[in-house]
Amino acid sequence: MWNRTSATAAELAAELGVPSTADLAELARACDAIVMCVSADADVLEVVDGLIPGLRPGGLVIDCSTVSSDTAREAALRLADYGAEFLDAP
């Protein structure tokens, strides 16, 4: 689990009994699929860029944010360069 506010992530992770990660790359290394929901187009791309260093080929990023189709396409392109898939699911 990861959140831009580390205290929030740690609190929820403790409540759910799951690990929290220090950064997005660490999260990507630990997961086959990642579901994200953020507030803005720039945030989607920032999270995608943070995941990239830890992504494995065949990884899946599912975005539940309500963002523009251009942003979704850009995120998909960035992930495809690393062998990962992107699913836009607002």
pLDDT of residue 89: 96
| Nearest residue to 56 via CA among 31, 21, 76 | 31
User: Tens of pLDDT along 25-82?
Assistant: 999 999 999 999 999 999 999 999 999 999 999 999 999 999 999 999 999 999 999 9
Mean pLDDT of 7-12: 92
Exposed / middle / buried, residue 16 (Cβ in 10 Å: 0-12, 13-18, 19+): exposed
Give the global pTM: 0.91
Could you state, in order of their start, the residue ranges of all structural domains in the chain?
22-88
Per-residue model confidence (pLDDT) at position 41: 97
Please, what CATH class does the domain formed by 22-88 belong to?
alpha beta
Window from 1-5, 15-19, 41-45, 70-74 with minimum mean pLDDT: 1-5
- Give the DSSP per-residue string, the chain: ---SSHHHHHHHHHHHT----SSHHHHHHH-SEEEE--SSHHHHHHHHHHHGGGPPTT-EEEE-S---HHHHHHHHHHHHTTT-EEEE--
